[in-house]
């Protein structure tokens, strides 16, 4: 394998990692939130669940 | 040529406020009411010499009413005799103890200090915080239209103090109360108020914690019953030429080219008008009275997703003695966890509550004229869902009434069962049939964060030109002062956009 080819592969891998980085950060944030959610008391979990269930309807409600 | 400049559908407080203010602007206004009586949920009926309030039982936060009557060239106090309620309420705890909360914040602190000196100090701090919050909310939230993000920003500019309390927006009613008060009995004494916004403590937003304080701003009862308020609005409106027709049910809002052009009544009569103000529940208005075909798909989806507010059966009792109660409002409370259990495990599953809790309104305590000859009237607000899992309301309502009377006689009002001369129970189904409140939801739609401000059906319709909304299902929400505020907002918007 030529040096140029190795450079291309490593550049591609770094590029791929860079693309994955935001997803990894997002996954870490979601995991953190899920962890925090699990540690909340039942009352707060119910409150969040109640609001989260309504999220898909908010654009419609805004235009009503 | 239009028959009227504005047709208002529904003579509830929201519709009458909007109608009267629009007549004051010099417009020809017709208010159409499907029932025989005006006032909707804020009304009073008579049975065998006893007067009973249909829904609303007291009045607090009177600023919107004062503003409406001021614009109408009078004062609220001149038009309606207000009887102050002090104590603001009596609390009956599950352990059998009872205490009164006086109107004065300091005197209330003295009552709380007998239960917990620490919570008495917490109460003073809490009252100060809620007072600041409420002052800001009255400036901005209650009397401003919130049709879009820009309106919301304007509202916050009018009452920036609201933003000083972010903790109230991102927590629940329960967590606010539990954070402030340590004593279990004190917490219980503030549990029932969560149902004033139609949600259990775990789901009611923290901002509604003001409900456990707002009574100390002043609670009043109008002499002659709650109907005195819509009667006064009607009287002022008629001075400016407003017409009110009862027993006239609107079945259709006529829409042509995306704009209202009038209404059609149940008897087929058509009334032409370029502007319609609706005091009907927004779900019923858009999905039935206007028709889904006139709504853009996104709005249709939004309206369909709106949840109706809580319902409750109400027991009306005419007595031949003075019951041993010491306040106009009497709260028979349970813990916040019990209220949550009721909501999640029973109400949402079509079941009646296991534990007894209730609000007893002793109207003749404030106004003896509501029953003749030393007799007295009680409204007992019970709990129960619209759709029952087993049986139906017609078959269970007497059993529900008898069980409630047994409970009250045994634990709270000795001798009650032996002194009942008149009894009637109104179920959520009755409220739906008589007042056209879908599923008997007495606050219109849910009052959580995602049914508020820009997410509540807009005061100026975004779907149909010339259509304006008032009443409990639009901003700012359910309750007498808030629906009056919605009427003021609707009239202001018509003034801006329909000249």
Q: In angstroms, what CA-CA distances link B421 with A10, B50, B375, B408?
A: 91, 10, 9, 16
Query: By CA distance, what is A61's nearest residue in B?
Result: B302
pLDDT, mean of each 10-residue run, chain B (499 residues):
94 98 98 97 96 96 96 98 97 92 97 97 96 86 92 87 85 94 96 93 93 93 98 98 98 96 97 98 97 95 96 97 96 95 95 94 97 95 95 95 95 94 97 95 94 96 97 96 97 96
DSSP-based three-state secondary structure for B349: helix
CB contact under 8 A, A47 and B454: no
Q: What is the pLDDT of residue B165?
A: 87
Alpha-carbon distance of B152 to B69, in angstroms, equals: 26
What integer pLDDT is reported at residue A20 of this predicted model? Answer: 84
Q: Name the β-bridge partners of B275.
A: B6
Q: What pLDDT does residue B166 have?
A: 85
Q: With an 8 Å Cβ cutoff, is A64 touching chain B?
A: yes
Nearest-CB residue to A47 (from B202, B299, B301): B202
pLDDT of residue B106: 97
- Six token digits for residue B135: 């002052």
Query: B70 at the A interface (CB within 8 A)?
Result: no
**A54 with B202: Cβ contact below 8 A:** no
pLDDT number for residue A1: 65
pLDDT at B162: 83
ipTM of this model? 0.91
Q: Cβ of B123 under 8 Å from any chain A Cβ? A: no
Mean pLDDT of A19-37: 89
A43 touches chain B (CB under 8 A): yes
- Asked if B208 and B201 count as a contact pair (C-beta separation under 8 A), the reply is no
pLDDT of residue A51: 93
CB within 8 Å of B400: residues ≥ 6 apart: B313, B352, B382, B384, B425
Separation of alpha carbons B142 and B133, rounded Å = 12
Largest Cα–Cα distance in chain B?
A: 69
Residue pair B204/B172 in contact (Cβ under 8 Å)? The answer is yes
According to DSSP, the residues that pair with B246 across neighbouring strands are none
Nearest CA in chain A to B459: A64
- Count CB neighbours of A13 within 10 A: 10
Residue B241 phi/psi, 5-degree rounding, is: 95, 0
Instruction: Return the residue of A nearest to B286 by Cα.
Output: A64
pLDDT at B137 (0 to 100): 87
Write b or e for each residue in B348-373: b if 16 or more Cβ atoms lie within 10 A of its Cβ, otherwise e: eeeebbeebbbbbbbbbbbbeebbee
Residues B453-466 pLDDT 10s? 999 999 999 999 99
Q: Mean pLDDT in chain A? A: 86
């Amino acid at each position: 394998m030529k040096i140029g080819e190795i450079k291309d592969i490593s550049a591609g891998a770094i590029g791929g990692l860079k693309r994955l980085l935001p997803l990894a950060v997002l996954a870490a944030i979601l995991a953190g939130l899920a962890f925090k959610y699990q540690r909340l008391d039942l009352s707060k979990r119910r409150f969040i669940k109640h609001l989260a269930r309504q999220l898909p309807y908010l654009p419609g409600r805004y235009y009503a | 040529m239009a028959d009227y400049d504005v047709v208002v559908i529904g003579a509830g407080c929201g519709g009458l406020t909007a109608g009267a203010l629009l007549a004051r602007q010099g417009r020809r206004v017709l208010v159409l009411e499907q029932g025989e009586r005006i006032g909707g949920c804020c009304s009073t009926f008579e049975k065998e010499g006893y007067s009973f309030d249909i829904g609303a039982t007291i009045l607090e936060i009177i600023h919107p009413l004062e503003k409406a009557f001021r614009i109408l060239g009078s004062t609220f106090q001149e038009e309606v005799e207000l009887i102050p309620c002090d104590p603001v309420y009596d609390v009956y705890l599950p352990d059998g103890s009872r205490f009164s909360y006086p109107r004065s914040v300091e005197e209330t602190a003295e009552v709380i200090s007998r239960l917990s000196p620490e919570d008495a100090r917490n109460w003073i701090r809490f009252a100060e915080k809620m007072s600041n919050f409420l002052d800001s909310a009255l400036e901005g939230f209650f009397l401003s239209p919130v049709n879009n993000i820009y309106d919301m920003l304007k509202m916050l500019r009018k009452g920036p103090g609201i933003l000083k309390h972010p903790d109230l927006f991102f927590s629940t009613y329960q967590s606010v109360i539990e954070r402030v008060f340590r004593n279990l009995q004190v917490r219980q004494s503030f549990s029932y108020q969560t149902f004033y916004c139609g949600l259990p403590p775990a789901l009611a937003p923290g901002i509604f914690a003001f409900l456990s304080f707002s009574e100390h701003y002043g609670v009043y009862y109008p002499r002659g019953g709650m109907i005195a308020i819509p009667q006064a609005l009607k009287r002022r409106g008629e001075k400016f030429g407003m017409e009110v027709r009862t027993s006239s049910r609107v079945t259709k809002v006529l829409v042509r080219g995306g704009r209202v052009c009038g209404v059609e009544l149940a008897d087929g009569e058509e009334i032409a008008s370029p502007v319609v103000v609706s005091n009907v529940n927004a779900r019923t208005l858009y999905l039935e009275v206007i028709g889904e075909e006139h709504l853009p798909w996104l709005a249709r989806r939004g309206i369909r997703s709106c949840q109706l507010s809580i319902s409750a059966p109400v027991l009306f009792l005419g007595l031949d003695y003075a019951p041993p109660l010491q306040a106009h409002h009497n709260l028979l409370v349970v813990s916040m966890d019990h209220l949550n259990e009721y909501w999640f495990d029973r109400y949402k599953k079509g079941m009646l509550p296991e534990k007894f809790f209730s609000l007893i309104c002793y109207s003749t305590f404030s106004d003896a004229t509501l029953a003749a000859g030393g007799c007295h009237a009680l409204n007992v607000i019970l709990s129960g869902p619209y759709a029952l899992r087993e049986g139906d309301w017609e078959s269970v309502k007497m059993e529900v009434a008898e069980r409630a009377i047994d409970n009250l006689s045994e634990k709270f009002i000795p001798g009650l069962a032996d002194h009942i001369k008149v009894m009637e129970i109104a179920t959520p189904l009755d409220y739906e049939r008589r007042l056209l409140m879908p599923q008997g939801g007495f606050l219109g739609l849910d009052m959580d964060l995602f049914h508020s401000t820009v997410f509540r059906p807009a005061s100026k319709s975004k779907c149909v030109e010339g259509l304006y909304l008032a009443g409990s299902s639009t901003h700012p929400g359910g309750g007498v002062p808030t629906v009056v505020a919605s009427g003021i907002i609707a009239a202001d918007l018509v003034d801006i956009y329909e000249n």
